[in-house]
């Protein structure tokens, strides 16, 4: 099975070759037993291991398990078997949780919240030939049928991510003269990019990455902090699932930074891909188009939107567009309407410029796909990066083309991508600051923009992964 993770993640040292210079960081605790001498290992037909000691007694041996958390901490790997990597998160795990929850008494039950990304929704819309609104409503109906209590849209949490990104850029642009590492700002919403940057480049790149959380993780804050308070439950009583266009998002949800020590719970408990949602539908024997639509849920009780809302700027979140427009206005008093992209070496590497009287005021770029990330990083390391801001995504063509999106067996990939883009673009757009509920939440949940609360709940930090050096490394 070809690896489902993004190209950037695949090349990040998750390889099968167990070189002596690579060490698994998972500590293996060895329990010493007295007088056991030499023991034999016997393998049963079902693959389980039994230790047979000299007196003939047998003891079943535990399998060493690698979890996603371990992966993030490590620079070497024992195995890259995909099944091992995503053992804790899969649609089977989700179904288990939903089924188990149903059997509990209402007071004991966990509150199940599912946050759907607009990219996944667009992919499903194309498959079932529905418009975005119907897809959203029918998905809501489907998840509630399975046992979910609320179904939200991560386009809502993205508003916060965009607003924070805008503010951060203006602040860093103004700080250029004081700090060499203020610019360029590199986006942070793509975990494939972040994992690669942390492991391969570490502190030479990390200072440039935006600290704004991705829409998935802002939703984590919204659900486990704001929504939990509103529902009068502790965060660990909520089981938060997100539906995402790629597998890399599963790794993002497992980051220790997104685990609350206080409540012993993750901000996002489980990530399922668009493909896994399709599997759930197939297992239920249900076609999305046949379902009766349900009304859409809203995080803000004062808002009742019966239609999804989207953003300008493309299927990867529109970071460049929002930050560019905001910066042009805030820094130079220039109003920008349409943004013109100039393709560079290939269609996944494009630049945008704000010019006035022959001077370049802002120079932004989008860099999608591993080869363009390579070139960007190399330029940056040599001090030759001409950009102030770069929207970086690990997948060519961006999130709509993520590794977890649905494939059409009989249609060419190009056509499918175009259809998904078209459906994605059908949804009405709204500027983040104008979306109902956003200003309200900045007020009474976060106690103002730029507050400590806002910083804690809407931002994060990154950590260079140290490469383990072993005395066994062979010097060729």
Nearer to another protein, 209 or 377 (CB): 377
Work out whether 7 is an interface residue with another protein (CB under 8 A).
Answer: yes
Nearest CA to 308 among 139, 465, 146? Answer: 139
Nearer to another protein, 180 or 414 (CB): 414
Considering only residues 5, 6, 13, 402, which one is a binding residue for another protein as defined by CB under 8 A? 13
| Residue 384 to residue 414: CA distance in whole angstroms | 34
Nearer to another protein, 200 or 254 (CB): 200
Nearer to another protein, 15 or 70 (CB): 15
Work out whether 347 is an interface residue with another protein (CB under 8 A).
Answer: yes
Considering only residues 60, 229, 345, 407, which one is a binding residue for another protein as defined by CB under 8 A? 345
Considering only residues 258, 370, 442, 462, which one is a binding residue for another protein as defined by CB under 8 A? 370
The count of residues interacting with another protein (CB under 8 A) is: 18
Nearer to another protein, 10 or 188 (CB): 10
Nearer to another protein, 12 or 210 (CB): 12
Work out whether 217 is an interface residue with another protein (CB under 8 A).
Answer: no
If phi > 0 it is left, if psi is from -120 to 50 it is alpha, else beta; for residue 202 that is: left
Nearer to another protein, 17 or 30 (CB): 17
Stretch 417-476 residues interacting with another protein (CB under 8 A): 475-476
Write down the least CB distance from residue 254 to another protein, Å.
22
Half-sphere exposure of residue 396, counting CA atoms within 13 Å on the CB side? 9
Pairing state between β 259-260 and 265-266: antiparallel
DSSP 87: T
| Residue 367 to residue 190: CA distance in whole angstroms | 12
Spell out a b/e string for 270-307, using b for 16 or more CB atoms within 10 Å of the CB, else e: bbbbbbbbbebbeeeebebeebebbebbbbbeeeebee
Nearer to another protein, 121 or 199 (CB): 199
Write down the least CB distance from residue 206 to another protein, Å.
17
Q: Where are the alpha helices (DSSP H) in 197-273?
A: 215-221, 228-231, 248-253
| Residue 98 to residue 272: CA distance in whole angstroms | 14
| Residue 365 to residue 12: CA distance in whole angstroms | 24
Site string for another protein, 14-33 (x = CB under 8 A): -x-x----------------
Tell me how far CA of residue 309 lies from CA of 217, 292, 317, 425, 459, in angstroms. Answer: 19, 21, 13, 11, 23
The region of 12-20, 157-165, 236-244, 247-255 touching another protein under the rule CB under 8 A is 12-20
Work out whether 160 is an interface residue with another protein (CB under 8 A).
Answer: no
Query: Which two three-digit tokens encode residue 443?
Result: 């007020």
Write down the least CB distance from residue 13 to another protein, Å.
6
Cβ neighbours, 10 Å, residue 380: 18
Tell me how far CA of residue 339 lies from CA of 253, 317, 321, 382, in angstroms. Answer: 33, 15, 7, 29
Work out whether 12 is an interface residue with another protein (CB under 8 A).
Answer: yes
The region of 51-59, 168-176, 271-279, 345-353 touching another protein under the rule CB under 8 A is 345-353
Nearest CA to 424 among 166, 137, 136? Answer: 136
| Residue 474 to residue 347: CA distance in whole angstroms | 42
The region of 40-48, 122-130, 304-312, 370-378 touching another protein under the rule CB under 8 A is 370-378
The region of 149-157, 221-229, 369-377, 421-429 touching another protein under the rule CB under 8 A is 369-377
The region of 10-18, 175-183, 218-226, 318-326 touching another protein under the rule CB under 8 A is 10-18
Work out whether 90 is an interface residue with another protein (CB under 8 A).
Answer: no
| Residue 59 to residue 49: CA distance in whole angstroms | 9
List 259's β-bridge partners, or say none. 266
The region of 129-137, 257-265, 372-380, 403-411 touching another protein under the rule CB under 8 A is 372-380
For tokens 């109003």, what's the residue?
335
Work out whether 200 is an interface residue with another protein (CB under 8 A).
Answer: yes
Q: What is the CA radius of gyration of the chain?
A: 24
Work out whether 371 is an interface residue with another protein (CB under 8 A).
Answer: yes
Work out whether 329 is an interface residue with another protein (CB under 8 A).
Answer: no
Work out whether 378 is an interface residue with another protein (CB under 8 A).
Answer: yes
Write down the least CB distance from residue 248 to another protein, Å.
16
Nearer to another protein, 17 or 290 (CB): 17
Nearer to another protein, 376 or 435 (CB): 376
Nearer to another protein, 149 or 201 (CB): 201
Work out whether 11 is an interface residue with another protein (CB under 8 A).
Answer: yes
Nearest CA to 435 among 154, 156, 115, 164? Answer: 156
Termini Cα distance of the chain: 33
| Residue 161 to residue 432: CA distance in whole angstroms | 9
Q: Which residues bind another protein (CB under 8 A)?
A: 7, 10-13, 15, 17, 200, 345-347, 370-371, 374-375, 378, 475-476
């Amino acid at each position: 099975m070809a690896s489902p993770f993004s190209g950037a993640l695949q090349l990040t040292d998750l390889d099968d070759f167990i070189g002596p210079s690579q060490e698994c960081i998972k500590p293996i605790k060895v329990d010493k037993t007295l007088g056991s001498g030499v023991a034999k290992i016997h393998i049963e037909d079902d693959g389980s291991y039994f230790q047979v000691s000299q007196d003939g007694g047998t003891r079943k041996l535990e399998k060493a398990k690698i979890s996603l958390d371990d992966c993030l901490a490590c620079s070497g790997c024992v195995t890259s078997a995909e099944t091992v990597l995503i053992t804790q998160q899969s649609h089977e795990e989700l179904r288990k949780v939903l089924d188990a929850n149903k059997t509990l008494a209402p007071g004991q039950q966990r509150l199940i919240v599912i946050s759907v990304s607009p990219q996944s929704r667009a992919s499903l819309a194309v498959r079932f030939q529905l418009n975005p609104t119907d897809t959203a409503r029918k998905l809501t109906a489907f998840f509630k049928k399975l046992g979910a209590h609320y179904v939200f849209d991560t386009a809502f949490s993205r508003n916060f991510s965009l607003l924070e990104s805008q503010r951060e850029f203006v602040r860093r642009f103004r700080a250029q003269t004081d700090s060499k590492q203020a610019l360029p700002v590199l986006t942070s919403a793509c975990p494939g990019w972040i994992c690669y940057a942390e492991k391969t480049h570490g502190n030479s790149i990390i200072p440039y990455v935006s600290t704004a959380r991705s829409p998935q993780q802002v939703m984590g804050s919204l659900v486990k902090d704001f929504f939990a308070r509103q529902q009068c439950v502790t965060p660990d009583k909520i089981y938060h699932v997100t539906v995402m266009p790629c597998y890399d998002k599963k790794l993002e949800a497992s980051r220790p930074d997104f685990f609350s020590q206080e409540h012993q719970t993750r901000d996002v408990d489980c990530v399922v891909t668009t493909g896994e949602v399709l599997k759930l539908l197939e297992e239920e024997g249900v076609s999305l188009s046949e379902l009766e639509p349900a009304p859409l849920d809203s995080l803000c009780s004062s808002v009742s939107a019966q239609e999804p809302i989207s953003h300008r700027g493309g299927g990867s979140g529109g970071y460049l567009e929002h930050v560019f427009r905001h910066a042009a206005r805030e820094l130079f008093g220039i109003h920008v309407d349409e943004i013109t992209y100039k393709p560079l070496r290939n269609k996944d590497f494009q630049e945008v410029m704000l010019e006035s009287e022959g001077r370049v005021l802002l120079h932004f770029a989008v860099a999608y796909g591993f080869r363009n990330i390579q070139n960007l990083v190399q330029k940056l390391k040599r001090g030759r990066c001409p950009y102030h801001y770069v929207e970086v995504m690990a997948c060519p063509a961006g999130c709509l083309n993520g590794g977890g999106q649905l494939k059409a067996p009989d249609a060419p990939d190009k056509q499918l991508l175009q259809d998904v883009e078209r459906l994605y673009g059908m949804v009405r757009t709204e500027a983040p600051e104008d979306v109902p509920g956003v200003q309200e939440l900045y007020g009474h949940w976060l106690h103002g923009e730029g507050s400590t609360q806002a910083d804690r709940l809407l931002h994060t930090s990154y950590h260079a992964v140290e490469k383990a050096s072993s005395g066994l490394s062979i010097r060729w």
